[in-house]
Copies of this chain bind each other. A is one copy, B any other.
Amino acid sequence: MVKLTFIVVSLILFFILVRSWLPLMNPDLSTFSQPNFWYNSKLTTSVSKTRPGSGSGSAHKSIDHSTQMPRHPLDPLTVNEIERVRTILSSYPPFTSSFPPISSLVLEEPEKDRVLGWKKGDPLPPRRASVIALVNGRSHVVTVDLGLGRVTSNVISPSSGYPILGIDDYYKALEVTLSYPELKKSVLARGVALADLACIAPSGGWYGPNEEGRRLIKVLCFSSQNTSNFYMRPIEGLVLTVDLDKGEVFRFSDTGRDIPIPRATNTDYRYAAQEKEPEMKPLNSISIEQPNGPSFSIEDGHVVKWANWEFHLKPDPRAGMVISRAKVQDSETGELRNVMYKGFASELFVPYMDVDECWYFKTYMDEGEFGLGALATPLVPLNDCPKYSYYMDGVFVGSDGKPYIQPNMICVFERYAGDISWRHTETLVPGFQVKEARRKVTLVARMAASVANYDYIFDWEFQTDGLISVKVGLSGMLMVKGTPYENVYKVQNQEEMSGPLVSENRIGVVHDHFVTFHLDMDVDGPNNSFAKVNLVKEETFPGESPRKSYLKVKRHIAETENDAKIKLKLYEPSEFHVINPSKLSRLGNPSGYKLVPGRTAASLLDAFDPPQIRSAFTNNQIWVTPYNRSEQWAGGLLTYQSKGDDTLAVWSERNRPIKNKDIVLWYTVGFHHIPCQEDFPIMPTVSASFDIKPVNFFELNPILRVAPAFDNDLPVCSAIK
């Protein structure tokens, strides 16, 4: 959940590796300053020596980012474009005297109608960059027009938050921490060698007036002695609150000196650090094999075409991964039909359920405070993604305004998991059997963000039957709390602990995860309505039927936003349709897609609790808003220390009309996480998903005519060794 970058504090020397197995975790500025780094595209790893799928006739080509040109109106800014923006900004008056740290520099997407009107071969709409920078304490949102070669807009944000922090801010936090004598004293008193100190610098949220008007950051420290997994060795009770602009410690909490640092035993999860074999029979070689290569193509770097789907896919420093212009082929006419203009994870909210001095502020908004794309590390070939994956790089911008490459940050692959698309058998017909079954093959776009300890895995999965499944997986490490207890036997009242004991001296603090998705549905065009399709129990009247009751479908078209603020209820079931009232099927049913929630959780925090005010977008599971270009981020454009004045909940208070309008659907996937021993030292992935599913969109089952698999369709593979 936590922080943007690592700071390991060695009071003796900054640049010396502390140990061979855990080098000094000094942020690698070369990423941002070495001009050649960012077009040295693909990583190889110790696990996979070669790039899979290359030369197989598939789309796996290395991109030369230094010569890359935008080809689609939604393509992210290229390296050249970013450099040009920087040049333009450098001669823009407020930036000339001293170039400010850049918090964000991304494509300002063209107006929606420009994008919708654009066809391949047309010239691109004007390319513009949106830049956020803090200048003299004020948040500037600047538009740079690349065609005009100048700044066309510079607005000082009126809302309460600050821009996402930059590398300079983390350095400042480090510097202040290092020069604070009480810290050193406390660390030594706890028996931690300074050379083993590892600290992270997460956000502190917003907790009322005395934290306002200053940019604050928290610093939490750990012992990295004998483990790569310092998260499991917290120095409990030690929290610095640093005022980033004044460059001083704003508050110093040092309350837990009686709490031992949990031991390193069993904490390391790296394969190389394991001494024992696992207690299970080894598995034979298994793989999703496609000897002719995958069936998808990626045109111009971002347009994915597969089976009956086409969509634009791009990395984004904040959202991580953005799906745009998702279109599916009509099963009867072959026409490409619009489904979704844009879909992405808009914000995360991760409140921990511990209110003590060192924990209360752990109510992170992982996307707006840190950036999912910025923290989306390269995927591990063969292990994060299967063999024939295509890997896409992110082209992002450092706080110096210069481009850098986030390599292999998205993978795209075809999945065959042994599942059944549809089936039916009739076997009681003598001499004749109907035995029809079809395999389910899907396409997945995946990214994974390591937000400090936690890992979020995002999958957008496309099915040939028109369904899109969006899955969030959680892995990585718990945020554990140190405790004097080695076991529960001496604990007077386990309910007083903020979570279960997951290992000796470690409480796995209970927490929630909420991931709010922005789903700009354009079902057969922008103007859609939201229909709540309720199932309502009806009683029969006497004599009508031997039955007493049945369910009836009652459709309610939402007129305004308030009609579409929905808390899910098992005993008041509904379907949630986004329909196009102007596009009727042969039968007269409106074309639609429905949102199908999966396993989820709701936020139970007090609505007036500061973190819940800031994350009020989790007050409902579903919202529908009229499309508004500025309403992209459910927690507000500037989330850091925001007071909740720019959230989905605030926008939606206007209760705007949403019937037959260009509307945006918002859905929140929630998780309650009560940790357990199995989550130590690293958590098996927990997933939840939702679907967007055609409902009267196709005239009939769109995969009726798909062929079954035959023996000679399948690869010929030989045994290993």
A391 nearest CB across to chain B (Å): 14
A644 interface residue (CB < 8 Å to B): no
Q: Pick out which of these stretches binds chain B: A97-105, A146-154, A540-548, A630-638.
A: A540-548
Interface string of A248-276 (1 = CB under 8 A from B): 00000000000000000010011100101
> Can you name the residue of chain B whose Cβ is closest to the Cβ of A491?
B588
Which of under 10, 10 to 19, 20 to 34, or 35 or more describes the interface residues of A?
Answer: 35 or more
- Complex: A386 Cα to B351 Cα, angstroms: 42
Contacts of A426 in B (CB 8 A): 6, 25, 228, 377, 450
Contacts of A6 in B (CB 8 A): 426, 428-429
Nearest 9 pairs of A and B residues by beta carbon: A417-B417, A355-B545, A280-B308, A207-B546, A549-B606, A383-B437, A488-B588, A548-B609, A377-B425
Of all chain B residues, the one with the shortest Cβ separation from A704 is B269
9 A-B pairs with CB atoms under 8 Å apart are A279-B308, A285-B290, A377-B435, A383-B420, A495-B554, A500-B589, A551-B672, A681-B704, A715-B719
Identify A294's interface contact among B284, B332, B414, CB under 8 A.
Answer: B284
Contacts of A548 in B (CB 8 A): 605-606, 608-610
- Chain B residue numbers with a CB within 8 Å of A283 are 295, 307, 414, 441
Residues of B close to A610: CB separation below 8 A: 546-548
- Given the complex, which residues of B lie within 8 Å of A27, measured CB to CB? 428
Taking the nearest CB of chain B, how far is it from the CB of A302, in angstroms? Answer: 18
Binary per-residue interface labels of chain A (583-613) against chain B in the complex, 1 for a CB within 8 Å, 0 otherwise = 0011111000000111111101110111110
* Partner pick for A23 among B331, B429, B683, B711, CB 8 A cutoff: B429
In the complex, whether A246 has a CB less than 8 A from a CB of chain B is no
Contacting pair B605 A677 (CB below 8 A): no
Given A288-B418, A436-B270, A495-B552, decide whether A604 and B281 contact each other with a Cβ distance below 8 A. no
Partner of A714, one of B329, B387, B676, B698: B387
A681 to B704, CA, bound (A): 8
A47 at interface by CB-CB < 8 Å: yes
Which chain B positions have C-beta within 8 A of A271?
436, 707-708
Instruction: Judge whether A439 is part of the interface by a CB distance below 8 angstroms.
Output: yes
Q: Are the CB atoms of B422 and A279 closer together than 8 Å?
A: no
A601 contacts B573, CB within 8 Å?
yes
Pairwise interchain contact B284-A293, C-beta atoms closer than 8 A: yes
Bound form: Cα–Cα A556–B193 in Å: 43
- In residues 203-252 of chain A, which contact B (Cβ within 8 Å)? 207-208, 228
Bound together, the chains give a CA A716 to CA B448 distance in angstroms of 28
Please tell me if the beta carbons of A487 and B586 are within 8 angstroms of each other in the complex: yes
Q: Of B45, B555, B682, which contacts A422 at CB under 8 A?
A: B682
Asked if A434 and B716 sit within 8 Å, CB to CB, the answer is no
From B440, B467, B533, contact of A674 by CB (8 A): B533
Contact: A378 with B278, CB < 8 Å? Answer: no
Docked pose: A430 CA to B604 CA in angstroms: 41
CB A608 to nearest CB in B, in angstroms, measures 6
B-binding segment of A64-72, A115-123, A652-660, A689-697: A689-697
**Cβ of A333 < 8 Å from any Cβ of B?**
yes
Q: Mark the stretch among A137-145, A181-189, A472-480 that contacts chain B.
A: A472-480
Q: Are A550 and B288 in contact, CB atoms less than 8 angstroms apart?
A: no
The stretch of A78-86, A158-166, A564-572 that contacts the partner chain: A564-572
B266 and A281: CB pair below 8 A? no
Per a CB cutoff under 8 Å, which of B477, B676, B708 touches A380? B708
Q: How far is the CA of A191 from the CA of B255 in the complex (A)?
A: 88
A631-689, CB < 8 A from B:
672, 674, 676-685
Contact of A680 among B207, B295, B700 (CB under 8 A): B700
Closest chain B residue to A568, Cβ basis: B570
